[in-house]
Structure 1
Amino acid sequence: MPPAKKRLRSYDPAKIRTAVLAQFGNVREAIRTLTPDQLALPTGLGDWAVRDLVAHLTVVVGAIGGGLEQAEPPPGPVVPLLDWPFATATYAGAISEDVARIAAESVPVEAGSAAGAEELFTLAASRIDALLPGAPDDRLVATRVGAMRLADFLVTRTVELIVHTDDLNRATGLSVPYDRQALAACTRLLADALAVKAPGASTEVRIPPFAVVQCVEGPRHTRGTPPNVVETDPLTWIRLATGRTSWHEELDAARVSASGERADLGGLLPLMG
């Protein structure tokens, strides 16, 4: 995937910071309630149990403080925000190794609670509280995919937090709330990633109330109802974009509507591995 040449959308850094902290708080409160039986439940994410998912969430939020504790990377190439969704699959193996280690050390099912995870979330919260308020948006942060602007890295945290909140809810039957701003940022970034992967203007993808993008090569539409239209809700879109579900499954369930000869997005999804 070639690097994105431009930002298709801007994000309000202050709102993104608030959204990340809000969704982090939602997840933290839910994890405090998990029982040993819930920690042992399968997630449908490979061989991960809920305890592995919880461990990954501590990595997701801990990366904010960890990145700010490190020295700022030297000037050089910076990873554009829209490159991030396509780069994550490269590091799936390393992420799984980190998760397995943390899960084994901190979230043992036999412990009777998620106390180990809560301890890690408390540590992450203290580091974020100490370091994030004074960090400028343009500060560079070292990440697995390369140096990123802090403001852009925080947008990626909304994706990780929303996607895995949904994973947690579906695996456990919990109803962890989705912060609206975090859900919006996640939806928009993944929608814009589709437009990067399939540039064009023949198909309109609508994900109300958060995003509308034009994509797919073909005749450009200028007036009236577009001939090729895809519409779905934010969570269904996020599941499609991250491979949690399939195009045809969601079409059959009527959670996606698609009209027009260029409205089949099945060959373009998922966007993230």
Structure 2
Amino acid sequence: MTTEAVTRRHAYAEAGRAFRDLVSQVGPDGWRRRALGEWTVLDLVGHTSRALATVETALSRPATRVELADPVAYYRAASAIDQGEVAERGRDAGRALGGDPAGAVAELCDRVLVLVARTPDDTGVTTRLGGMRLIDYLPTRTFELAVHTRDLATALALPAPDTPLALHESLRLAADLAFAAGRGEQALLALTGRHPLPPGFSVL
């Protein structure tokens, strides 16, 4: 196992546990609070929990061919997905967590992290966008967990969890996505204080 692979695994586990622990702090009246755009806290938790559930699903469907070579290829392919569909899947995932969403997330997180830990890096998995190696799929899930856990912390008026590995991995992926989209110069100038980003700038 390479150093990069070990880092990817640790970052995913760190992000998953941070999300699980933050969800445990949602009070009984917190689930219907507005969170992100049209989503409630429950919708956002449901959507974010898919960064765990989709790994479990992908591992249950072995891939014999690698169609997406890396995390950037995955997100480039994902750019064609209808955002209304994404929003509705988030709501469906929130409802699917049942009467004890925090308990369901905790159980899902623990189960998936055990499953990932015992699966080799090069295992082919079938994502909804195509076949990938597990170790190349994980950074996309870490990215989702890192970003949306911070969205959740904002919605709950709580401090964002300390996840240095997940944050570093997600920043690296964001930079790669900016470069791949032809926005690398804008991102570099903004990050070095040379020029502000234009309104609505996103690497996704």
TM-score range for the pair, normalised by the shorter chain length: 0.7 to 0.9
Cα distance, 1:127–1:163 mapped onto 2, change above 3 Å: closer
2:104: which partner in 1?
A: 119
Where structure 2 has 5 or more consecutive residues not aligned to the other structure, the ranges are none
Between Structure 1 and Structure 2, the one with more helix by share is: 2
CA distance in 2 between counterparts of 1:76 and 1:66 reads 17
Larger gyration radius, structure 1 or structure 2 = 1
Cα distance, 1:161–1:127 mapped onto 2, change above 3 Å: closer
1:258: which partner in 2?
A: 194
Where structure 1 has 5 or more consecutive residues not aligned to the other structure, the ranges are 1-9, 207-228, 233-256
Q: What is the TM-score with the length of structure 2 in the denominator?
A: 0.85
CA distance in 2 between counterparts of 1:62 and 1:180 reads 23
- Structure 1 residue 204: deviation in Å? 7.4
Contact residue 55 and residue 102 of structure 1 kept, 8 A: yes
CA distance in 2 between counterparts of 1:141 and 1:268 reads 33
Does residue 189 in structure 1 map to residue 173 in structure 2?
Answer: yes
Q: What is the TM-score with the length of structure 1 in the denominator?
A: 0.65
Does residue 55 in structure 1 map to residue 46 in structure 2?
Answer: yes
Contact residue 58 and residue 121 of structure 1 kept, 8 A: no
Show the 5 A alignment for 1:100-119.
100-107=91-98, 115-119=100-104
Contact residue 137 and residue 151 of structure 1 kept, 8 A: yes
Superposed CA RMSD: 2.6
Show the 5 A alignment for 1:30-179.
30-45=22-37, 47-70=38-61, 72-75=62-65, 77-91=67-81, 92-107=83-98, 115-129=100-114, 131-179=115-163
Aligned residues: 202
Cα distance, 1:197–1:11 mapped onto 2, change above 3 Å: farther
What percent identity do the matched residue pairs reach?
26
CA distance in 1 between counterparts of 2:7 and 2:66 reads 28
